Chain A
């Protein structure tokens, strides 16, 4: 937590706004979101479906489908360059090279009719002037780095011949092949079993630290966050509602939504808890983005909501050192806890 000298900032997202134009109106999938990622740091973005965490990632990659989506404001600065100002060709030179992304389902992100090795070679040769022999050597080295056994043989195989965990390893190998400054992992282990999840998370964190890559980890699983991230942002209905170091967030969550999420999870392996003990539920459901209430979007589900919450959107305040929350009552919550 004590970061006297902040390490070099790799990514600086400022006031990002991404909207979608749909038949039922305009909705703000990402609404004025800012964050930074430093070298070798893991930033987790947490939230439920539709909170804008994946659209934030796609906006950084400039992969938001247009139409219906469009980035309408803000800046995304990667290593000093504002990505939102680049033309398509310049952006292509950056994607897969300086920023890479891994997705939830490795089977749909790998080409099913191309050998694993060739897919990595393709990524390498797109961005680096190397001979095909050199690229193949790099591909095999990457497969070895992600601890795929017998990398020479595996490079010759097709995605369907690999297990889910192996496929995700191959995806990671491809994503890291050009040593990107930033890796975005969107629910990288959600489709995997827990024992494989543990292996993949350990691998991602180990490689990221060895290569000094900045990592954005998008997940809905607070357990995964606690185990891997240094800093966390919590999103709700397109907005950042809380940001903190992982220790501070889990010790004293300040936004009622974050508190609700933590309380609604069955305490992992609830020892001593009776099986008929009730979980704390958050009443209601995530609001539709086309029809957001005025004021704080969480107010209709919030036990602590006061009149002001229903009228004015709360600013994101630094309630405690390095701990921001967008809630009118965050100060009281901080004092009470």
Chain B
């Protein structure tokens, strides 16, 4: 990553939504969905984004693809800032960035055959037609572990795991360099999840694209990612190499989040939950560090000043005032 220019570089990304109310639909508040997020993603690398509902992880992913317009900030794909580009100017870049959604039932057109679904991007971008297109689609089917004779079937004839394979084939059709996976296995059964995760890993090894991988299941994220970013209320509070983050989480929120994962070992029973209460509303996020309202270590400074991400060891950044900005780590 450090050796060359990252594939994707996001700087100070902000996305605010207006809350309107009253007869005149005046703006009565602002949802701070994403509030100053910066990260970089290298070629062939997987960055996991974790956090609880409403922390802004999906908004980050969609803003990066410009499926949602950013309020401010820069999104550099291969050094080119795509945030200010017009829709037409953006088009060539769209080929490099694809997405796989959570629900494979809702993201496939029920009236198109699987083959047409996977081939549609080729038509839209004018890359292949006729027999050449069919050939490419058949090849994509094989890559994701489907049989080419299944091309004429409709989505309802596939199981959940197979549908997710169709979604992956569609994402691959344009030879992307970045694939955003927004909870790609959350809707699947445990035994099927493993199949899809293995497929995603195999494809990345062969084709060397990057994943921005979002999931609420920390074990899945830990498995597939190289680096992981923890988000809380629209901000990244900690970002580190996977092994480093899971072995030595420094931000109190990251610590609580990791400790909340139920461990599949009855001998390792947890005692009391680490944090109480709910995530505050992103409409009026708390001042200073947004986590101070639930943090057991909060000091006065946390309530007024917002900590920035600071280096805390190699390939490890944390946004916390404790211990000179290195979190609680000893």
Contacts and interface: CB of A to CB of B under 8 A. Distances in A.
Interface of A: 48-49, 163-166, 193-199, 201-202, 220-227, 246-247, 250, 260-262, 264-273, 275-283, 285-286
Contacts of A166: 278
9 contacts: A194-B216, A226-B265, A227-B266, A267-B223, A268-B264, A275-B46, A276-B205, A279-B197, A279-B223
Interface string B268-281: 11101111101100
B289 to A, nearest CB: 17
B192 interface: yes
Given A273-B223, A275-B224, A268 B276 contact: no
B198 A269 contact: no
Given A195-B257, A265-B190, A273-B223, A279 B264 contact: no
Nearest to A202: B273
B4 interface: no
Contacts of A195: 52, 256-257, 260, 273-275
Between B191, B267, B268, the greatest number of chain A beta carbons within 10 A of the residue's beta carbon is seen for: B191
Contact of B243 (A165, A260, A272, A280): A272
Given A223-B263, A265-B190, 4 more contacts: A48-B191, A269-B261, A279-B223, A285-B161
B190 A266 contact: no
B21 to A, nearest CB: 16
Given A275-B242, A276-B201, A197 B190 contact: no
Nearest to A227: B262
B226 interface: yes
Interface residues of B, number: 52
Interface of B: 46, 52-53, 159, 161, 189-195, 197-198, 201-202, 205, 216, 218-220, 222-226, 242-243, 246-247, 256-270, 272-276, 278-279
A227 B223 contact: no
Contact of B266 (A201, A250, A265): A250
A250 B220 CA distance: 20
B304 to A, nearest CB: 25
Nearest to A273: B223
A266 B276 contact: no
B230 to A, nearest CB: 12
A281 B199 CA distance: 11
B197 A266 contact: yes
A281 B165 CA distance: 15
A277 B265 CA distance: 21
Contacts of A286: 189, 191
Contacts of A269: 218-219, 222, 246, 258, 261
Nearest to B159: A285
Given A193-B216, A265-B219, A269-B219, A226 B46 contact: no
Contacts of B195: 281-283
Given A195-B273, A198-B274, A223-B262, A282 B267 contact: no
Contacts of A276: 201, 205
A249 B60 CA distance: 41
Nearest to A206: B272
B263 A268 contact: yes
Contacts of A225: 264
B43 to A, nearest CB: 15
A261 B263 CA distance: 14
B219 A268 contact: yes
Nearest to A147: B276
Contacts of B222: 266, 268-270
A268 B258 CA distance: 10
Contacts of A283: 195
A198 B194 contact: no
A226 B46 CA distance: 30
Contacts of A222: 190, 264
Given A196-B278, A199-B273, A278 B262 contact: no
Contacts of B197: 266, 279
Contacts of B257: 194-195
A163 B46 contact: no
A271 B276 contact: no
Contacts of B247: 271
A271 B219 contact: no
Contacts of A273: 223
A198 to B, nearest CB: 4
Contact of A226 (B191, B202, B259, B263): B263
Contacts of A48: 189-191
A198 B270 contact: yes
Contacts of B258: 269
A227 B263 contact: yes
Between B225, B263, B276, the greatest number of chain A beta carbons within 10 A of the residue's beta carbon is seen for: B263
A123 B224 CA distance: 46
B223 A275 contact: yes
Nearest to B249: A269
B278 A267 contact: no
Contact of A262 (B201, B223, B224, B264): B264
Contacts of B265: 226, 250
B216 to A, nearest CB: 7
Contacts of A267: 219, 223
Contacts of B272: 202
A278 B261 contact: no
A264 B243 contact: no
CB-based closest 3 A-B pairs: A223-B262, A266-B223, A264-B194
A250 B246 CA distance: 23
Nearest to A283: B195
A197 B260 contact: yes
B261 A194 contact: yes
Contacts of B46: 275
Contacts of B273: 195, 198-199, 202
A270 B191 contact: no
A310 B193 CA distance: 26
A223 to B, nearest CB: 3
A279 B198 contact: yes
